[in-house]
Each structure stands twice: as structure tokens, then as C-alpha cells.
């Protein structure tokens, strides 16, 4: 979840708390008008103003984003303690209706049930119990407690409710911890699966021996390049065949042939630019696609590759006179890939017929 989404959620949560304050103030004024609250009208207005002011400050913190500067951006513990303080202040002036408003204590604690750590939640619950018990003891000490037995019963009921809430909070926190651990484990498994999928895609798209793209992946990439061609764009396409490769296999063995193929892949990788598509087309044949290439650039790239391959020296093998032949063609918009490959193959055949170790272009053949 992004920081913006979390901040939006915290603002909605504060709006819920502010709405609860509004309902509590309505009941507070109902208690004043019905005579169950000892506060005067002026005291009620002052209390209401202070409550509204405290919520306005909190609202400003959340709307301005300054809550993010605190260790706990939700300010859950502060909001719970503030709510408990206002509740105790209101309860101090209630008489027979005190038990009715006692329900707000658990309601305030529920606000922090999913966000407060267990130790902080228990600390807030202990504060609730001692605040209410101290309030009744003080009034009993001053002989202003209307019904001591009822007050003792209310303290006992509050103790049971708070004890249950603490136990339930522990259960909730343990459940959230287990869910978080499972989520992390699931995320780790998903990351592992993504890595395996990427490796599988690489295996499917890559020739195992040379590390270059395989024929299937090249055809997919080339088809996409042709579909995305803009008007006036020209691509270069070349088929490359290693000369006398069968003789190398017959004289020196297939291991030597594999080493030659790997050597070509290393040389070719150094000769092409980023964005060029080089693949093993089959056996000792390779294919090269150069996006946005004119005849001169295509010819220069293929000649550079041909000359570099003739200078390759294989370690531990006396294979000399390595060479390759190249057939080149140009691909324009709306050209068919199969036709372009056929044209490059015909140019490659001409290079082989003319003595190998050379680059032949299809456009030169057509001009002839």
C-alpha cells in the first residue's frame, strides 16, 4: 500500500473518531438539559469548545500531513488517551447517568484494538479502570456518592469488560502477527516463483549452447519489430553461416564445433549494438536484425563481424582459417518476414557460391 493510500485511510479513521465525538457531545448536552449532568450551561459550552478545538488540531495534523512526522502517524495512542481524558471529565459531573455513559470507555479502547501493541493497550485499559475507580473513591470520600453499592457494581462490571478486552486484544495481535508472517512467507514464495518464471522464460527464449536467442524467440521479436515499423523506416536483416563447419566437426569432433559456435557468439555479441537482435537460427547458421539500418550500416556491421571472426584463436584447438559468409537484405514497412528471410538466404547462397568468407547483399543481386 502506498503512502498516499495509507494517509487517506488515516484521515478516514480520524473522521470516524471525530463523528463519534459529535455523537458523544449530543448525548452530553442531552444529559445537561435533562438534569443528569451537574455542569452549568457555560461549563458545557467551554467543554464543547475545548473538545471541538482538540479535534480541529488533530484534523489539521492529518489534513496537512504533519502526522507523518511522528513515530506513529496514526496517533492512535494519543487519540485514545485524549478520548479517555474527555470521557473521565464528563463522567465526573454525572450522577445517576454515570453507568449509562460507562459504555464509552470500551468504545474508546476499541478504537485502538487493531493499532495499539498489546502492552500499550493494556496500559490504556489499566488507566481507564483506575480513573473510574478513583473518581468513585473521591466522591465516596467526600460523601457525594449517591449509591455506593451501584458504584461498586459499575467498577466490577468495568473491570470484567476491560479484562475481556485485554484478552481479546492479545488474541487479535497474535492473529495479526500470524497473518503478517504468512503474508511475508507468501510474498517470498511469489518472489521465488517470479524468479523461476523469469529463468524459465530465459530458457525457452535462449539457445543453451551459445546463450543467444533461439529461432522461435527471434521470429517473435522480429515480427513485433516489423509490426511497430513507422513509415520510411528500414531494418537490416542478415543470415550468417559459419564456413566449413561440418569439416570442423568431422576432423576435430563435436566438442570443437561447440567451441567454435561459442566463440562466434562471443565475437558477435561484441560487434552488435544494444537493440540489435542476434539469434542462433539453426545448426551453424545465425540471424541478425538491425533496426533502423541503412545499407551502409548493415554492411559495415556484417563486415566487422566477419573480420573479427577470422581472427579468433581457439584455446587447445588447432582449427585455423575460421570464416563465415553473410547474406544481407533490407526490410521495409509492410514487408513479409518470411520473404525477407528468403531474400537473405538467397544472398547467403550467392556468398557461398562465390567462395565463402564474404558478405553479399540482396539489393546488389537484384540490381544485377
- Other CB atoms within 10 Å distance of the CB of residue 110: 13
The CA-CA-CA angle for residues 221, 227, 233, to 5°, reads 100
SS3 for 215?
helix
User: Is the entire prediction scored with pTM above 0.75?
Assistant: no
Strand order across the 277-282 sheet = 277-282, 285-290, 235-242, 324-331, 359-361
Task: Count Cβ atoms within 10 A of the Cβ of residue 80 and give its class: 0-12 exposed, 13-18 middle, 19 or more buried.
Answer: buried
* pLDDT tens figures, 303-348: 999 999 998 888 777 777 899 999 999 998 888 999 999 999 999 9
Would you tell me the crossing angle of helices 254-271 and 295-310 to the nearest 10 degrees?
140
Ramachandran quadrant class, 227 (left: phi over 0; alpha: psi -120 to 50; beta: rest): alpha
Taking the C-alpha atoms of residue 333 and residue 226, their distance in angstroms, rounded to an integer, is: 7
% of the chain residues with pLDDT over 90: 33
Regarding predicted confidence, which is higher, 142 or 21?
21
Helix (H) or strand (E) holding 265: helix 254-271
Residue 289 contacts residue 235 (beta carbons within 8 Å): yes
> Contact, 176 vs 117, CB < 8 A?
no
Angle, helices 215-227/337-353, rounded to nearest 10 degrees: 120
How does pLDDT run across 251-305, given as a tens digit for each residue?
Answer: 888 888 999 999 999 999 888 888 899 999 988 999 999 998 889 999 999 999 9
User: Tens digit of pLDDT for each residue in 101-146?
Assistant: 888 889 889 888 888 888 899 999 999 999 989 988 888 888 777 7
CA max distance for the chain = 121
Structural element, H or E, at residue 77: helix 76-91
Average pLDDT over residues 235-249: 92
Amino acid at each position: 500500500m502506498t503512502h498516499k493510500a495509507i494517509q487517506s485511510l488515516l484521515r478516514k479513521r480520524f473522521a470516524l473518531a471525530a463523528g463519534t465525538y459529535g455523537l458523544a457531545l449530543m448525548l452530553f448536552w442531552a444529559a445537561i438539559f435533562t438534569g443528569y449532568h451537574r455542569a452549568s450551561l457555560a461549563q458545557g459550552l467551554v467543554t464543547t469548545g475545548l473538545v471541538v478545538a482538540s479535534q480541529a488540531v488533530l484534523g489539521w495534523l492529518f489534513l496537512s500531513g504533519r502526522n507523518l512526522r511522528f513515530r506513529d502517524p496514526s496517533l492512535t495512542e494519543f487519540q485514545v488517551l485524549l478520548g479517555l481524558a474527555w470521557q473521565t471529565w464528563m463522567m465526573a459531573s454525572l450522577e445517576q447517568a454515570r453507568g449509562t455513559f460507562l459504555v464509552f470507555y470500551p468504545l474508546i479502547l476499541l478504537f485502538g484494538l487493531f493499532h495499539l501493541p498489546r502492552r500499550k493497550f493494556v496500559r490504556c485499559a489499566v488507566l481507564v479502570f483506575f480513573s473510574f475507580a478513583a473518581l468513585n473513591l473521591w466522591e465516596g470520600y467526600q460523601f457525594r456518592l449517591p449509591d455506593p453499592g451501584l458504584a461498586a457494581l459499575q467498577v466490577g462490571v468495568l473491570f470484567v469488560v476491560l479484562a475481556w478486552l485485554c484478552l481479546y486484544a492479545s488474541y487479535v495481535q497474535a492473529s495479526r502477527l500470524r497473518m503478517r508472517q504468512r503474508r511475508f512467507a507468501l510474498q517470498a514464495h511469489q518472489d521465488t516463483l517470479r524468479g523461476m518464471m523469469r529463468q524459465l522464460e530465459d530458457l525457452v527464449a535462449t539457445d543453451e549452447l551459445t546463450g543467444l536467442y533461439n529461432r522461435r524467440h527471434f521470429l517473435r521479436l522480429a515480427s513485433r519489430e516489423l509490426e511497430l515499423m513507422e513509415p520510411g523506416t528500414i531494418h537490416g536483416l542478415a543470415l550468417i553461416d559459419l564456413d566449413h563447419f561440418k569439416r570442423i566437426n568431422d576432423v576435430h569432433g563435436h566438442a570443437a564445433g561447440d567451441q567454435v559456435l561459442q566463440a562466434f557468439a562471443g565475437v558477435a555479441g561484441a560487434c552488435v549494438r544494444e537493440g540489435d537482435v542476434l539469434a542462433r537460427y539453426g545448426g551453424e547458421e545465425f540471424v541478425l536484425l538491425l533496426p533502423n539500418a541503412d545499407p551502409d550500416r548493415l554492411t559495415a556491421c556484417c563486415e566487422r563481424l566477419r573480420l573479427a571472426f577470422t581472427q579468433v584463436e581457439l584455446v587447445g584447438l588447432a582449427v585455423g582459417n575460421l570464416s563465415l559468409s553473410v547474406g544481407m537484405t533490407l526490410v521495409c514497412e509492410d514487408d513479409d518476414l518470411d520473404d525477407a528471410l528468403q531474400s537473405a538466404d538467397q544472398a547467403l547462397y550467392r556468398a557461398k557460391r562465390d567462395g565463402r568468407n564474404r558478405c553479399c547483399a540482396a539489393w546488389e543481386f537484384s540490381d544485377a
